[in-house]
Amino acid sequence: MFNEYHDVLTVEQLAEALGIGKNKAYELINNHVIGYKRIGRKILIPKCCLIDYIQSSRYNIRA
């Protein structure tokens, strides 16, 4: 899953992987929905956090 991406993604790569805009990607990060690490001004997202986010969606049940 997401084999074309490195082990650490930027916000732009996260948005591309999810097919969303950068603003929505920043919203997911700022609301701590997807794990990340801030190094200075740079935001880095481990690929495992992206995979965890995708896999967690299978537990969302809407009535």
Give the three-state DSSP class for 63: coil
Work out how many domains the chain is built from and give that number: 1
CB 18 within 8 A of CB 32: no
Average pLDDT over residues 46-60: 87
Percent above pLDDT 90 for the chain:
81
Q: What average pLDDT does the structure give for the chain?
A: 92
Q: Would you say residue 1 lies in a domain?
A: no
Query: What is the reported pTM?
Result: 0.85
- CB count, 10 Å around CB of 27? 13
> What CATH number is given to the structural domain containing 14?
1.10.10
User: pLDDT digit string (tens) for 23-52?
Assistant: 999 999 999 999 999 999 999 999 999 999
The whole-angstrom distance between residue 45's C-alpha and the CA centroid of its chain comes to 6
Q: Is residue 17 in a domain?
A: yes
62 has pLDDT over 70? no
